[in-house]
Structure 1
Amino acid sequence: MGFEPESRLVDERVESRINTLTLEQLEVVRRGAEIIKSGGLVAFPTETVYGLGANALDAEAVRRIYETKGRPSDNPLILHVSSIEMTEDLVEINWRARMLMERFWPGPLSIVLPAKEIIPPRTRGGLPTAAVRMPDGAVALALIKFSGLPIAAPSANISGRPSPTDAETVRRDVGGKIPLVIDGGETRFGVESTVIDMTGEHAVLLRPGGLAKEALEAELGEEVLLPQDQKIIKRSPGTRYRHYAPEIPLILAAPGEIPQDAQNWAWMGIAEPNGAPAKKVKFRDAEEYARELFRAMRALEKSGVSVIYAELPGERGIGLALKDRLIRAAGK
């Protein structure tokens, strides 16, 4: 009972986000909700990247997500919710996980917890756990609330490609395969949610993302551990296969480490590189680097260069998530 006031605050945050939508936007979202309820797929914006959503409780609808993306079927999906009450129907919530929900939801935080039988094995990749999150975006929250269903949604791109951060990229990747792409403009974070496992005695960071590890540690009052067991890592999407890769090679390099004989190359990073790149994308800071990372990859792969050299950031704040995406994009 002591948690109820905080849970109501989460509901109020959700309502305040939804209330920012125009009548025209609400009409499009209601159409999307009808598609979700009928077993179809809808691409929609969140604060992190665009998601490809379906009814998380409909195994056949979820199968269509995997088919549309070309995604391995053992790669679990995150369930998107619009209330803690909806979450309680899906997973077993311990008090520490609830504390994080009440503090950081809506927001870029996915929490792995023991799954209830209502979630089809296909949605959770055959695992006994499931990841749940409440996105901090008006369109996403309204879509979930109007459908009355948890929405399973990986990024709305072909599996392995850079995640989409605008609707036009979604249309190029999967637009011809689904009935609706809801355009909500460019996303705010540009990298996916942080995934944290709360099933054990200690919190374990499965995937760094839009919420900094330091913020979680401050709230929990303890160190958030890094995974040591591959079985635990598998509980998070985006951790078992090469992800986020452009069509041309991406090589990780410090600004002064570009080979002297490099030809027709591009640079992407915060610092100024040595040499003379054919194309150069420089960011003001790690936040802009993360927000524009996937868009920059897609632009450079189409620019005519043969290879991208990318600078690794520091590991504090969003830098940890940014580093993770760059390493996976490079196939390391």
Structure 2
Amino acid sequence: METKVFIVEDIEKNLDYIKEGANVIKNGGTVAFPTETVYGLGADALNEEAVKKIFIAKGRPQDNPLIVHVANKEIDYLAKDIPQIAKDLIRDLWPGPLTLILNKKDLVPNVTLANLDTIGIRMPNDPIALKLIEEAKTPIAAPSANISGRPSPTDVFRCVQDLTGRVDCIIGGEKSNVGVESTILDVTCNPPCILRPGGITLEMLKKYNNDIYIDKAVMNKVEGDFKPKAPGMKYRHYAPKAKVRIVSGETKKMVEKINEIVHNYIDAGLKVGIMASYETRECYNKGEVIVLGKREALNTITPNLFESLRALDDLGVDIIISEGFEEVGLGIAIMNRLKKAAAYDIIYV
């Protein structure tokens, strides 16, 4: 398959690129495109055969539902029984990194939603994404634009790396500024439940209902025949080629433990990568050190999280040791992604 790549530097000047991508969507093809969270791999959400191409391109399990992306806040044609809290969240937080799980209408094919009775919908806060959906004149189903299980792409280069020859078109824009996938909130239950943490934090959502909580499957390993209600709940995700381990706890003890582990691995002949914070970057004198961002400003870490995993793969490390982060605010989303990347291999000190 030939994959066309377009780089949009200015929407008005490069509108033809977006229109060409929209035509691919209209004709049942697949298009990778930027969003504020991560890059997405899209197809017409209402076209069963088109949606199947997403699963094939990614190697994605068929029981992993897709999020449906829209260009405006009118979603009555896709969902029914929309509760007031959903309407309030749509009013205040769309466009943005929030996906709402609602009761679906029959318009959306089962393959898009993994045979669930619910649908995840979001309105991305990215001008290219919104223009693409608008020009395609259909909602776009889109998971992250990477090979299934790998770290999600936050720039067009990683999309090209993963998906050339697998998709019809890749549209490049700016780097994703949130850097982790959207928060997924199930509003079909009361109180609503977070099925995936993201850029919209639990604390932000509690302003709408103080009883909103996080599903226990989010931060813990799930087993057996667990049926995911939202993307990212069941399978190993965000994983680089190198093995990942996490060390979490009080900063001084964490740094000491990481240095001990790193030295042991290096003595055993392994090449080691370290994912550090700005505050601890000078505490490590061995290994390949990548700075994620500042502990005091976790929004500086999320845009670099997935790219750091990929960059350490590029350096050819055998194992990656990551610092852990306090599981509050954005730290919940960061640790959710790290735990899945590490297959829950975490040391607490």
Q: Conserved in 2, the CA contact under 8 Å of 1:269 and 1:312?
A: no
Q: Percent identity?
A: 39
Over residues 282-310 of structure 1, what are the superposed CA-to-partner deviations in whole Å (9 max), with x where a residue is unaligned?
23322222111111111101213221100
Q: Distance in 1 between matches of 2:38 and 2:255?
A: 28
Q: Distance in 2 between matches of 1:59 and 1:284?
A: 41
The one-letter amino acid paired with 1:227 is D
Partner of 1:88, secondary structure, is coil
Partner of 1:257: 257
In the TM superposition, what is the alpha-carbon distance from 1:77 to its structure 2 partner? 0.1
Q: Distance in 1 between matches of 2:216 and 2:172?
A: 39
Partner of 2:256, secondary structure, is coil
Q: 1:232 to 1:305 in 2, by over 3 A?
A: closer
- Pairing 1:227–2:236 present: no
Q: 1:142 to 1:98 in 2, by over 3 A?
A: same
Partner of 1:28, secondary structure, is helix
Q: Distance in 1 between matches of 2:195 and 2:227?
A: 6
Q: Conserved in 2, the CA contact under 8 Å of 1:112 and 1:196?
A: yes
Q: Distance in 1 between matches of 2:328 and 2:214?
A: 14
Q: Distance in 2 between matches of 1:115 and 1:125?
A: 12
In the TM superposition, what is the alpha-carbon distance from 1:228 to its structure 2 partner? 4.6
Partner of 2:100, secondary structure, is strand
Over residues 14-54 of structure 1, what are the superposed CA-to-partner deviations in whole Å (9 max), with x where a residue is unaligned?
xxxxxx95323321111111110110000000000000000
Q: Distance in 2 between matches of 1:208 and 1:233?
A: 18
Q: Conserved in 1, the CA contact under 8 Å of 2:102 and 2:118?
A: yes
Task: Structure 2 unaligned segments of length 5 or more: list them.
Answer: 1-8, 248-253, 345-349
Q: Conserved in 2, the CA contact under 8 Å of 1:269 and 1:289?
A: no
Q: 1:312 to 1:228 in 2, by over 3 A?
A: closer
In the TM superposition, what is the alpha-carbon distance from 1:255 to its structure 2 partner? 2.2
Matches within 5 A, 1:140-159: 140-159=129-148
The one-letter amino acid paired with 1:269 is A
Partner of 1:16: none
Considering fraction of residues, name the structure with more helix: 1
Matches within 5 A, 1:246-325: 246-253=240-247, 254-258=254-258, 259=261, 260-263=263-266, 264-270=271-277, 271-272=279-280, 276-285=285-294, 286-325=298-337
- Pairing 1:186–2:175 present: yes
Q: Distance in 2 between matches of 1:38 and 1:283?
A: 40
Over residues 42-77 of structure 1, what are the superposed CA-to-partner deviations in whole Å (9 max), with x where a residue is unaligned?
000000000000000001000000000000000000
Partner of 1:4: none
Partner of 2:235: 241
Cα RMSD of the aligned pairs, angstroms, is 1.8
Matches within 5 A, 1:56-135: 56-85=45-74, 87-92=75-80, 93-135=82-124
Partner of 2:306, secondary structure, is helix
Partner of 1:24, secondary structure, is coil
Q: Distance in 2 between matches of 1:171 and 1:22?
A: 20
**What is the TM-score normalised by the length of structure 1?**
0.90
Q: Distance in 1 between matches of 2:183 and 2:113?
A: 17
Partner of 2:274, secondary structure, is strand
The one-letter amino acid paired with 2:116 is L
Partner of 2:30: 41
Partner of 1:63, secondary structure, is helix
Q: Distance in 2 between matches of 1:43 and 1:125?
A: 21
Partner of 2:250: none
Q: Conserved in 1, the CA contact under 8 Å of 2:73 and 2:94?
A: no
Partner of 1:267, secondary structure, is strand
Q: Conserved in 2, the CA contact under 8 Å of 1:189 and 1:291?
A: yes
Q: Distance in 1 between matches of 2:110 and 2:276?
A: 40
- Pairing 1:32–2:26 present: no
Over residues 179-234 of structure 1, what are the superposed CA-to-partner deviations in whole Å (9 max), with x where a residue is unaligned?
2111102111110000000001111010001111111111x141321225789972
